[in-house]
């Protein structure tokens, strides 16, 4: 804002030009001559009441001040990070000022009339409940919607190990024969693991087992202040311990490893650490799903978090011992304000209705804390990008060099990913070994949830031999359907011969999904 105020003195003609353009747009809006076709597909304005003349004028006035903004913002003499912050602020203001968020929304007025005002009373009650509970946003009632182990995360299995950092789940084989080498899944420490085992028919774990893979999975603990010193080194060591126990339990010398998002970072760091420490023979293959190997993320979240903001975040995490779930949930919510903030608020507070809940929504609100040291280490990755500088990151007494990895690897990115842009997941020259890259055409979460039979699923796939992602895309092969079979078939090629499925018995630690996933 200070930079913007300074520009008033240095660029008065530029601001005057924007003001003139805005007044011209407002005049067109008052006359009803402004083009509203960009809003035709906006779900906020689908109610028939928006077609009335008064509502149309309201929408046009809202559009009038926004349309010249892009040209005005581009012409400002600001630093890139200041321009990004100002663009984000203006997007937030535009989303908040949308006429759909007010009592002039025809849907709110119609609901109030038909209910005799009771909808507004229910909405006020919902608002008071959410403020009292400290929720950052309007959200569905999560207390009785789903039960873990019954509705979600219900693939049969046993807890075969429990440590301070994690529980290790061994899933019960679903085929008479399984591939000899087991698969260890490393989910992200952010949120719960059961996105990978969401519900029957929409479970990556279930799919892998149907293909004859032996599946083991790490369920991370939700840390408390006493775990403030858990950083990347601790998580990599925990992953190594889980790998050792997976190999011991399955009676094999090798396993395959799959990491997802920040869990993929942990998996990649483990492989580089093993290469440096002489343990590379423990793995036969690595797959990384929506994992930022290039941590220079060009996203709104990263652009907003300048040096001062990151330092405040570090201080906050160390003062509490962790980054609380409210802060992490709010950060991701404000990246999609129309979808994740204001539309739920209109439904819950304006219409007085309970928000619909589905397994993905339930999982998305089941946030976890992050230890202070892990927050510090992840911010260091974003600040320095040491993964692109072999040897600049020391982890558990070893220099990390991703280019030294000789394992074959399979990589997934999502074209519309707003958290890990797909270019950042492309391995390029950052990793050694034979690499295969797949680009699905969805978002960060929906890209992962893509079971066979998905009606709109398609992806590009091919060897990652090009130095950059765009060159790879120009030669990649387009495929229809889910990427899940391509991933599991690749894993099967590196999982050894078929053997008789083991009879995994209860080891006394309980059934999946275990105890840690239930902790709050």
Q: How confident is the model at residue 82 (pLDDT cuts 50, 70, 90)?
A: confident
- Does the active-site annotation cover 261? yes
Q: Indicate whether 187 belongs to any domain.
A: yes
Q: What are phi and psi of 86, to 5 degrees?
A: -65, -40
- Directed axis angle between helix 80-96 and helix 2-10, to 10°? 110
Contact (CB, 8 A) for 404 and 275: yes
CATH at 472: 3.40.50.1820
Q: According to the model, what pLDDT value does residue 268 have?
A: 98
CA angle 189, 192, 194 (to 5 degrees): 130
Single residue among 39, 73, 102 that ends a domain in this structure: 102
| Domain co-membership, 88 together with 217 | no
Q: Indicate whether 140 belongs to any domain.
A: no
Q: According to the model, what pLDDT value does residue 418 have?
A: 86
Q: For tokens 């990755």, name the residue.
A: 381
Q: Indicate whether 361 belongs to any domain.
A: no
pTM to 2 decimal places = 0.90
Write the DSSP string, 437-497: EEEESS-HHHHH---TT-TT-EEEEEE--SSSHHHHHHHPEEEES-SHHHHHHHHHHTS--
> What are 479-508's pLDDT values in tens digits?
999 999 999 999 999 999 999 999 877 778
Q: For tokens 């927050």, name the residue.
A: 375
Count of the separate structural domains present in the chain: 2
Single residue among 56, 84, 102 that ends a domain in this structure: 102
> What are 258-276's pLDDT values in tens digits?
999 999 999 999 999 999 9
Q: Indicate whether 116 belongs to any domain.
A: no
| Domain co-membership, 89 together with 164 | no
| Domain co-membership, 48 together with 170 | no
Catalytic residue selected from 170, 261, 271, 450: 261
Candidate from 101-115, 150-164, 234-248, 321-335 with smallest mean pLDDT? 321-335
| Domain co-membership, 175 together with 31 | no
Residue 38 lies in domain:
1-102
Contact (CB, 8 A) for 268 and 288: yes
* Percentage above 90 pLDDT, the chain: 72
In this predicted structure, the answer to whether residue 299 has a pLDDT above a threshold of 80 is no
Q: Indicate whether 307 belongs to any domain.
A: no
Q: Indicate whether 454 belongs to any domain.
A: yes
Candidate from 331-340, 348-357, 469-478 with smallest mean pLDDT? 331-340
| Domain co-membership, 496 together with 416 | yes
Q: According to the model, what pLDDT value does residue 276 have?
A: 96
| Domain co-membership, 209 together with 291 | yes
Q: Rounded to whole angstroms, how far apart are CA atoms 36 and 29?
A: 10
């Amino acid at each position: 804002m200070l930079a913007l105020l300074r520009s008033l003195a240095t660029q008065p003609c530029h601001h005057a030009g924007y003001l003139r353009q805005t007044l011209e747009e407002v005049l067109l809006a008052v006359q009803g001559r402004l083009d509203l076709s960009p809003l035709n597909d906006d779900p906020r304005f689908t109610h028939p009441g928006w077609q009335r003349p008064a509502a149309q004028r309201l929408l046009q006035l809202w559009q009038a001040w926004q349309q010249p903004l892009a040209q005005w913002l581009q012409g400002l003499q600001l630093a890139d990070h200041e321009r990004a912050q100002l663009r984000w602020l203006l997007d937030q203001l535009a989303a908040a000022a949308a006429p759909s968020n007010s009592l002039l929304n025809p849907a709110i007025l119609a609901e109030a009339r038909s209910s005799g005002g009771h909808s507004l009373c229910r909405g006020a009650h919902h608002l008071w409940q959410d403020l009292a509970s400290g929720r950052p946003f309007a959200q569905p009632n999560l207390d009785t919607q789903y039960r873990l182990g019954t509705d979600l995360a219900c693939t049969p299995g046993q807890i075969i190990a429990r440590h301070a950092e994690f529980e290790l789940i061994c899933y019960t084989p679903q085929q008479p024969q399984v591939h000899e080498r087991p698969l260890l899944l490393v989910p992200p420490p952010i949120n719960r693991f059961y996105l990978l085992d969401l519900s029957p028919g929409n479970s990556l774990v279930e799919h892998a087992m149907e293909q004859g893979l032996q599946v083991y999975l790490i369920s991370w603990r939700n840390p408390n202040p006493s775990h403030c010193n858990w950083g990347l080194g601790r998580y990599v060591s925990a992953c190594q311990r889980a790998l050792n126990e997976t190999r011991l339990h399955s009676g094999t010398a090798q396993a395959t490893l799959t990491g997802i998002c920040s869990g993929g970072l942990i998996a990649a760091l483990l492989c580089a650490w093993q290469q440096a420490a002489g343990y590379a023979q423990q793995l036969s293959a690595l797959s990384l799903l929506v994992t930022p190997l290039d941590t220079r993320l060009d996203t709104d979240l990263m652009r907003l978090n300048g040096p001062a903001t990151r330092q405040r975040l570090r201080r906050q995490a160390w003062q509490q011992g962790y980054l609380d779930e409210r802060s992490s949930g709010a950060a991701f919510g404000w990246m999609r304000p129309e979808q994740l903030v204001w539309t739920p608020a209109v439904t819950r507070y304006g219409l007085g209705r309970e928000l619909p809940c589905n397994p993905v929504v339930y999982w998305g609100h089941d946030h976890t804390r992050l230890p202070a040291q892990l927050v510090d280490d992840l911010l260091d990755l974003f600040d320095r990008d040491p993964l692109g500088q072999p040897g600049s990151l020391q982890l558990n007494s070893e220099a990390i060099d991703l280019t030294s990895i000789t394992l074959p690897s399979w990589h997934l990115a999502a074209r519309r990913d707003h958290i890990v842009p797909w270019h950042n997941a492309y391995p390029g020259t950052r990793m050694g070994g034979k690499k295969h890259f797949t680009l699905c055409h969805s978002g960060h979460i929906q890209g992962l949830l893509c079971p066979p039979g998905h009606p709109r699923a398609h992806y590009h796939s091919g060897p990652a031999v090009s130095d950059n992602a765009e060159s790879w895309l120009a030669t990649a092969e387009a495929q229809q359907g889910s990427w899940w079979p391509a991933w599991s078939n690749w894993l099967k090629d590196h999982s050894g011969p078929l053997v008789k499925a083991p009879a995994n018995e209860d080891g006394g630690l309980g059934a999946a999904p275990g105890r840690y996933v239930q902790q709050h």
